[in-house]
Amino acid sequence: MNDQEEYWVGFDLGGTKMLACVYDAELQKLGSRRRKTRGEAGQEEGVTRVIKTIDQALADAEKTRTDLTGIGIGCPSPVDMERGVLLEAVNLGWENVPIQQELESEYDCPVAVLNDVDAGVYGESQFGAASGAQTVLGVFPGTGIGGGCVYRGQIVHGKNSSCMEIGHVQIRADGHLCGCGRRGCLETEASRLAISAEVAKAAYRGETPHLQEMVEPDLPELRSGVLANAIEAGDVVIEQIVRDAAAKIGIAVANFVNLFAADCVVLGGGMVEAMPDIFVKSVHKAAVKSVLPSFADSFHTVVAELGDDASVLGAAAWARQLCRSVS
């Protein structure tokens, strides 16, 4: 396979947008196409849109279907990596979609299905902030808190499902009620929603003067950039709220390090990118405080480098790795 030309497609199926990129054998990008996901149109229509997007990315790269070597597709949901099935994408309202089978019969090439956070962490481990690490833990706080682990070049996953539900590690026994039915999960304590709710409370008390100059008085969805700007302008209460949330992520990271001796922790997503210093320092400090002393110097905490490319590139790289390992 090394002697002939290879063309790979990486696909990032997001809750709101989908993105297809075409790469060469060295994973240099040759073309791409973006489109709205429109999950509400149903999963059959969704697969049709995926195919249309891949075809248009191929056209953008001046390639055809027969040029394709393989496809990797990251999904916003747990997946069964062995059977190549999207299990349940709550954001899209899709379940049990046999994506691997549908795309393989359409394109007649191998297709790898993986979780989008796993794809991003794999991308960072191969080409980004975690290059060279043996055990990489990725944590992506956002609406929820996604996690992924790459151990010695392999995405860690369960027998019938992807895993790494770090958002559901329990941080406080008596914490907030989580959507999963338990209390005090990391996600309910440190996601963007948790931070925004604390900020709204502080705003009500009049503790966030700079923020209140920037946004409507009813504080609609607080974007990460707005929070970062308010902190920059001097809203120390908001900074402390973000630090507290990051410290909770640090406790979950410490539990992971105690179990798996991760040597690199990658933080990513919109909130981290908007406030990288606060997140990296607070997570690392809290994690160091909570790991066993012998692990205190054994890991570093870094910000993801690949941004929106991480998942799509990681998906293509994972497909390439799987195909090469069997050929």
**Cβ at position 262, least distance to its own copies in Å:** 8
Answer whether 73's CB lies under 8 Å from 13's CB.
yes
Answer whether 28's CB lies under 8 Å from 327's CB.
no
Q: Whose Cβ is closer to its own copies: residue 171's or residue 274's? A: 171
Q: Whose Cβ is closer to its own copies: residue 181's or residue 220's? A: 181
Amino acid, res. 88: E
Residue from 200, 214, 261, 303 in contact with its own copies (CB under 8 A): 261
Residue from 11, 256, 279, 318 in contact with its own copies (CB under 8 A): 256
Q: Which stretch binds its own copies (CB under 8 A): 40-48, 65-73, 146-154, 195-203?
A: 146-154
C-alpha 118/C-alpha 148 separation (Å) is 5
Q: Whose Cβ is closer to its own copies: residue 132's or residue 217's? A: 132
Query: What length is written for the chain?
Result: 327
Residue from 153, 158, 225, 234 in contact with its own copies (CB under 8 A): 158
Buried b (16+ CB within 10 A) or exposed e, 159-189: eebbbbbbbbbbbeeebeebeeeebbbbbbb
Paired tokens of 79: 């997946």
**Cβ at position 289, least distance to its own copies in Å:** 9
For position 125 contacting its own copies by CB under 8 A, the verdict is no
Site for its own copies in 40-99 (CB under 8 A): 78, 88
- The three-point CA angle 281-310-193 to 5° equals 55
Q: Whose Cβ is closer to its own copies: residue 217's or residue 293's? A: 293
Give the C-alpha distances (Å, rounded to integers) separating 7 from 22, 47, 316, 326: 7, 21, 10, 17
Site for its own copies in 165-184 (CB under 8 A): 165-166, 168-170, 172-173, 180-182
Answer whether 164's CB lies under 8 Å from 186's CB.
no
Answer whether 141's CB lies under 8 Å from 189's CB.
no
Paired strand residues for 146: 140
Residue from 56, 91, 134, 240 in contact with its own copies (CB under 8 A): 134
Edge-first strand listing for the sheet containing 17-24: 29-36, 17-24, 7-13, 70-75, 111-115
**Cβ at position 169, least distance to its own copies in Å:** 5
- Return the closest-CA partner of residue 74 out of 64, 61, 84, 63: 84
**Cβ at position 318, least distance to its own copies in Å:** 16
Residue from 206, 217, 220, 293 in contact with its own copies (CB under 8 A): 293
Residue from 294, 325, 326, 327 in contact with its own copies (CB under 8 A): 294
**Cβ at position 19, least distance to its own copies in Å:** 27
For position 249 contacting its own copies by CB under 8 A, the verdict is no
Residue from 163, 200, 202, 215 in contact with its own copies (CB under 8 A): 163
**Cβ at position 263, least distance to its own copies in Å:** 5
Edge-first strand listing for the sheet containing 264-267: 154-155, 145-151, 135-141, 264-267, 300-303
C-alpha 310/C-alpha 126 separation (Å) is 10
Site string for its own copies, 201-240 (x = CB under 8 A): ----------------------------------------
Which residues of this protein are in contact with its own copies, per CB under 8 A? 78, 88, 134-135, 147, 149, 151-152, 154, 156-166, 168-170, 172-173, 180-182, 251, 255-256, 258-263, 290, 292-295, 298
